[in-house]
């Protein structure tokens, strides 16, 4: 079981902060560079996030495990790899980092600092896509861990994130901390507060399905 340290918490805050800036900032840049071309905007946003996430996982994995996602953290807790109280500390760090990163993105692009998104996303299509994409993410991460292929997590997760931006109509949130953070930008990547509860439920359900698949498919791996 990994012991919680102040260095790990700081790394998780910073990694979540940078990830949110990559998500929100590249979305704002895509809107600016390719106005009206939604397909190109999505490609630019997805590519930036995938490459950035690859870098962040490589950099922060030795320090905090590079979760940046409460679902990854609490699956770890459920598998006995972290204590519950440490999971709560990670949760706070992730939400703080993602929210701050989104707000700073607004500032960097000369937009109003404090924004609340009006981008409603909670249709049935969005929620089904969010369940499926999240289940896939958990299957990828913990399937690699159980197979002893931890060194492949950074490139494989980055590739999955890029791909899921196109196959999942929800544009691949898969992360409650990012979902909460993205309320604070009324731009391409934002999500209206009214849509957040549905997304959180869908993401949690997806995580349960994903870890269920891991335990069923790889029952004997440590």
Query: How far is CA 40 from its chain centroid?
Result: 21
pLDDT confidence bin for 1, thresholds 50/70/90: low
Q: Are residues 71 and 176 in contact, defined by beta-carbon separation less than 8 angstroms?
A: yes
* Residue at 157 is within a domain: yes
Q: Tell me, what DSSP letter sits at residue 151?
A: G
Range of the domain at 155: 6-217
Q: Whole-angstrom Cα distance, residue 18 to residue 58?
A: 13
* Residue at 44 is within a domain: yes
* Residue at 195 is within a domain: yes
* Residue at 1 is within a domain: no
Domain count, the chain: 1
* Residue at 110 is within a domain: yes
Q: Whole-angstrom Cα distance, residue 186 to residue 192?
A: 8
* Residue at 182 is within a domain: yes
* pLDDT for 171: 66
* Residue at 168 is within a domain: yes
- Model confidence over 100-142: pLDDT tens digits? 999 999 999 999 999 999 989 888 988 999 999 999 999 999 9
The CATH number for 160's domain is: 1.20.1080.10
* Residue at 222 is within a domain: no
Q: Whole-angstrom Cα distance, residue 66 to residue 120?
A: 29
The answer for 83, left when phi > 0, alpha when psi is -120 to 50, beta otherwise, is beta
- Model confidence over 76-85: pLDDT tens digits? 999 988 899 9
* pLDDT for 168: 84
């Amino acid at each position: 079981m990994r012991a919680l340290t102040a260095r790990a918490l700081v790394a998780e805050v910073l990694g979540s902060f940078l990830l949110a800036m990559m998500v929100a900032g590249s979305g704002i840049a895509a809107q600016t560079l390719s106005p009206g071309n939604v397909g190109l905007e999505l490609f630019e946003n997805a590519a930036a996030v995938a490459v950035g996430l690859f870098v962040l996982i490589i950099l922060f994995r030795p320090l905090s495990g590079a979760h940046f996602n409460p679902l990854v953290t609490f699956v770890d807790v459920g598998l006995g790899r972290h204590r519950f109280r440490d999971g709560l500390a990670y949760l706070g760090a992730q939400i703080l980092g993602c929210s701050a990163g989104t707000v700073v993105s607004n500032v960097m692009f000369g937009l109003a600092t404090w924004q609340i998104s009006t981008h409603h996303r909670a249709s049935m299509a969005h929620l089904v896509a969010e369940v499926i994409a999240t289940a896939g993410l958990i299957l990828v991460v913990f399937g690699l861990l159980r197979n002893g292929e931890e060194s492949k997590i950074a490139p494989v997760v980055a590739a999955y994130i890029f791909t899921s931006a196109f196959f999942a109509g929800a544009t691949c949130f898969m992360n409650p901390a990012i979902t909460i953070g993205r309320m604070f930008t009324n731009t391409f990547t934002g999500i209206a507060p009214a849509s957040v509860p549905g997304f959180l439920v869908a993401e949690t359900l997806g995580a349960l399905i994903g870890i269920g698949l891991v335990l069923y498919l790889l029952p004997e791996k440590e």
